[in-house]
Amino acid sequence: MNQKIEAAKKLLREQGHEVESLMHMGKEWFQIDYRERLAPRYGGSGITVSFGPYGLATPQEMEELADGVYTAAELKELFLKRCRDDKGGDEPARID
């Protein structure tokens, strides 16, 4: 893994954020503060739901975070802007 990306992950974790890498549609992304919870359903079964807010960052954005180009808050705003641009509105984009 790239040293800058590792530095960005460390920085985010030191600020209390959770960071995980994932592959989606052949591209690497970094999930920031994605959380899941098992919600009970009628009949005793459950369903896994996500609750946020959470963000996705590209490897380049993570490197730029390590370089000081972005703060964690600015990185989150960049993600939200990308979602609005992708969806044409205020609703966050889904990756599944």
Residues 14-72: pLDDT tens digits? 998 889 898 888 899 998 887 766 667 677 676 666 655 678 899 999 999 999 998 88
Of 40, 49, 51, whose CA–CA distance to 18 is shortest?
51
Residues forming beta bridges with residue 40, ordered by sequence position = 46
Alpha helix positions (H), 16-92? 59-67, 72-87
Task: Return d(Cα 95, Cα 56) in angstroms, integer.
Answer: 9
Task: Return d(Cα 29, Cα 55) in angstroms, integer.
Answer: 10
Contact present, 30 and 9 (Cβ < 8 Å): yes
Query: Picking from 9-18, 63-72, 84-93, which range would have the lowest pLDDT averaged per residue?
Result: 84-93
Whole-model pTM over 0.85: no
- Per-residue confidence (pLDDT) for residue 32, from 0 to 100: 87
